[in-house]
């Protein structure tokens, strides 16, 4: 990576993103070397101060890393992590973060919908999950932006998949162990839900879930392993206990059946368990 980008490196270890810029930020400002680190996830993260390294150069370096970190043991994401400020008061410039994701290795729900000409909309960081493949997406850094765009989608989309991610529960509060922020975020979500649910139409199906835990009350700043919620509702659905599912793919398979597209490679649909009438 250093040879291809023309800069040296600092770090090259697993670390908290905020901790490592506090540790190595001053040395980076002196040398111009990249701060390189990973986490419990399959990620290669590159941090650089915006006044030391232009954003365009940071992004280009991450593109080169993306090309390198491929093949049998490909890294899932390369992440550009710009930061600002002075030693002792460094801050991430999260609005300039950029992810370079590996494309999904198989056919996804989004691909299946695209094959049938069914619209697909992403809100939040959903574009990063699919490397933007077959997805119209608006990347948003805050929950408030996501709620606004979700409201617009509920008003304006007659048919299609609307996939929204509210990133601050993970990025701003879970990883930072910010219990008060997480609590306030839940209260804001509760307030927003009343207006959003009022826009749900007779044929809509709504699902709440997560791809992992991120408990802000534990010493760890990484993702947690608790079970995640799966709440599915709609005017034509009946309340049933979905139990503990064998795989996240069950929700994708259920969505595929909702839209009438061919089954996906993994997962078991539970649509028949929740429909009041035959789909």
For the domain covering 109-274, report its CATH number.
Answer: 3.40.720.10
- pLDDT at residue 277 in the model: 67
Extents of the domains making up the chain? 2-101, 109-274
Q: What is the DSSP letter of 213?
A: B
Of 207, 201, 176, residue with least CA distance to 270: 207
What does pTM read for this prediction? 0.80
| Contact residues for 171 (Cβ-Cβ < 8 A; gap 6+) | 94
Note whether 15 and 220 are within 8 A (CB). Answer: no
What is the phi/psi pair of residue 217, to 5°?
Answer: -95, -5
The fold of the 2-101 domain, in CATH, is Alpha-Beta Plaits (3.30.70)
Q: What is the DSSP letter of 237?
A: B
The pLDDT tens digits along the chain (279 residues) read: 999 999 999 999 999 899 999 999 999 999 999 999 998 889 999 999 999 999 999 999 999 999 999 998 899 999 999 999 999 999 999 889 999 999 998 999 999 999 999 999 999 889 888 888 999 988 888 999 999 999 999 999 999 999 999 989 998 899 889 999 999 999 999 999 999 999 999 999 999 999 888 999 998 888 888 899 999 999 999 999 999 999 999 999 999 999 999 999 999 999 999 998 654
Of 103, 50, 51, 55, residue with least CA distance to 77: 103
Cα 45 from chain centroid (whole Å):
15
């Amino acid at each position: 990576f250093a040879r291809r980008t023309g800069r040296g490196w600092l770090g090259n270890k697993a670390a908290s993103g905020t901790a490592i810029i506090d540790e190595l930020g001053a040395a980076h400002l002196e040398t111009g070397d990249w701060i390189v680190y990973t986490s419990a996830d399959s990620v290669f993260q590159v941090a650089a101060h915006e006044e030391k390294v232009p954003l365009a150069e940071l992004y280009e370096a991450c593109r080169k890393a993306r090309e390198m970190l491929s093949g049998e043991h490909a890294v899932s994401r390369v992440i550009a992590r710009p930061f600002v400020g002075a030693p002792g008061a460094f801050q991430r410039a999260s609005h300039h973060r950029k992810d370079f994701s590996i494309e999904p290795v198989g056919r996804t729900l989004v691909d299946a919908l695209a094959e049938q000409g069914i619209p697909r909309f992403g809100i939040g960081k959903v574009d990063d999950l699919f490397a933007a493949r077959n997805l119209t997406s608006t990347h948003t850094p805050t929950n408030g932006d996501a709620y606004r765009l979700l409201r617009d989608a509920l008003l304006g989309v007659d048919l299609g998949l609307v996939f929204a991610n509210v990133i601050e529960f993970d990025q701003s509060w879970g990883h930072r162990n910010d219990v008060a922020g997480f609590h306030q975020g839940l209260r804001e979500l509760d307030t927003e839900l009343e207006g959003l649910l009022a826009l749900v139409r007779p044929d809509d199906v709504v699902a709440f879930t997560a791809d992992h835990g991120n408990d802000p009350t534990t010493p760890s700043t990484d993702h947690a392993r608790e079970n995640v919620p799966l709440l599915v509702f709609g005017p034509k659905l009946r309340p049933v206990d979905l139990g503990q599912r064998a795989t996240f793919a069950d929700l994708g398979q259920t969505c595929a059946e909702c839209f009438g597209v061919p089954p996906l490679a993994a997962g078991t649909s539970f649509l028949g368990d929740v429909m009041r009438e035959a789909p």
